[in-house]
Amino acid sequence: MIFAEKPIVFQCHGETLLGILTVPKEHATVGLLIIVGGPQYRSGSHRQFVLLARALARDGYPSLRFDKRGMGDSTGDAQDFSGSVPDIAAALDAFMVNSPGLQRVVLWGLCDAASASLLYWQETKDPRVACMILLNPWVRSEQTLARTRMRHYYGQRLMTADFWRKLMAGEVSVLRSLGELFTQLVSSVKPRDISKGNSAQAEVPFQQRMHQALCDFPGLILLLISGKDYTAQEFTIWLESQPDGRAILAQDNRQCELLPDADHTFSRAAWKQTVEAFTIQMLEKTGQIRQ
pLDDT of residue 224 exceeding 80: yes
pLDDT in tens, 57-97: 999 999 999 999 999 999 999 989 999 999 999 999 999 99
Q: Is residue 195 part of a domain?
A: no
Query: Could you tell me if 246 and 273 lie in one domain?
Result: yes
Q: How far apart are CA 177 and CA 269, in angstroms?
A: 38
Q: How far apart are CA 15 and CA 44, in angstroms?
A: 22
Query: Could you tell me if 153 and 19 lie in one domain?
Result: no
pLDDT, position 157: 52
- Whether the full predicted model's pTM is greater than 0.85, yes or no, is no
CA distances to 38, 96, 165, 179 from 161, in Å: 37, 57, 6, 21
Amino acid at 202: A
Torsion, Cα 240 245 249 250, to 10 degrees, reads 120
CATH code, 217: 3.40.50.1820
Q: How far apart are CA 46 and CA 124, in angstroms?
A: 32
pLDDT in tens, 6-28: 999 999 999 999 999 999 999 89
Closest to 113 in 3D by CA, of 32, 186, 185: 32
pLDDT, position 2: 85
pLDDT of residue 191 exceeding 80: no
Residue 187's pLDDT band, with cuts at 50, 70 and 90, is very low
Query: Could you tell me if 225 and 123 lie in one domain?
Result: yes
Closest to 83 in 3D by CA, of 183, 172, 15, 184: 15
Closest to 285 in 3D by CA, of 109, 125, 106: 106
* Number of domains present in the structure of the chain: 2
pLDDT in tens, 128-153: 999 999 999 999 888 776 766 666 45
- Mean pLDDT, residues 160-167 taken together: 55
Query: Could you tell me if 106 and 33 lie in one domain?
Result: yes
Query: Could you tell me if 74 and 173 lie in one domain?
Result: no
Q: Is residue 267 part of a domain?
A: yes
What is the SS3 assignment for 51?
A: helix
Task: Assess contact for 109 and 134: CB atoms under 8 A.
Answer: yes
Q: Is residue 194 part of a domain?
A: no
Task: Assess contact for 33 and 107: CB atoms under 8 A.
Answer: yes
Residue span of the structural domain in which 237 resides: 3-140+201-288
